[in-house]
Structure 1
């Protein structure tokens, strides 16, 4: 009985709907009625689905889990006098027989040391870093090249580290510590299209900001500032780290350069540049 009554009710509703549509069409015309029906469907979300083109785009995630190389830059000044020092830190593992060997030292004074990564007692073969501390005989532009290979073999090096260095005239008060230190972690020679993360300290609350300055052919995937403030704290004026994620579409050596300055001032208080070789 209930099913029969339901069918009768549905039939009556259809008749009423058809009659209303007929009367509207006679009074206002078929185009007006069609527009009314479409509008009703949209409001009811029953005829037209969500328009994906108008949706808020999902931000591209920072490729922090994809990078194969991290370059940490410590900076202090804008120029490096010939009697001051530049330092490069490269991952190494002498337990494999491989190590970094300076291949071109013309005009440069190089001190090489090795620092093992601290590990638990009894664990061997973990490796560490070769540290190159470099000065120059006099002002000028130099090239530093190091190869990662076994000293007794003539095979092609596993990796090659190439850097152009610029030293200015010596100062009367050289620093006891390197004025620029660049540390590579992971692959020194990433493959084309692999991601390199570049990190350096800064504090934009002072008005100074790090910006890329050279017309690099590197593709910048992401750049951001990460505050060192404790989440939820009310501390102000806290610095942090500038991070850039870069890659190259083709193999080659590319320069990454940045300077630390206020936007309304001409001269930076800090800058650095180094090369990344993609293979």
Structure 2
């Protein structure tokens, strides 16, 4: 979906008549019309995010269930809006962008508005527009790709191998060495995660057992003998932002991923960093 798919002339106001940020948000909110209503009242303007330049204020609110698709309203002020609490030398925004989202999907439909308006050329092109028709003709704006929030399943690394509690440690060691793994999960018969074995634990085992053989009648050590039973997992349908926060708070490099309780893969820190903070895929072209 592109930004142009959600922008319509009747939801664009150039110029805004309001002089303050609060009134500009309320005025822009009325563009949603009586059939959709406008929840952008009260202190909603205080919750708006800002583009890096400060020229754009962006806000989202939940629709009271009367629309199934996201809606966008955009207003452009002829001069910087008055904002309470601005520091000396700061100027108010001129572009107000409001997004109305269906109930229950406000987190699922996380449009990359910050990325869309992180380019000063985009904001400059909007400010040069003298009418809604001119603004809708800006390919730099209308061609911006809007992406829903990433989930763990979009980034995780699926795995095909399985280690069970009764798997001999020699087999675990062989698997870790051959596949250059840092961690392997230990699963039960129903593929639920029962524990985890790290390369450090396997290294300690290998050093202890080097040059020694099991005594007659002695059973070889098993995965269950060294695995850690306290394991943090994430669901494959969890928001990637939330999983990333968990990894940062718990200082872990990767997390087992489960689907309906079954182990299906790993979420790795380097993949999370690449997905969340890699180059933004915003290509609006030139006008």
TM-score between the two structures when normalised by the length of structure 1:
0.28
Name the one with the larger helix percent. Answer: 2
Q: State the structure with more CA Rg.
A: 1
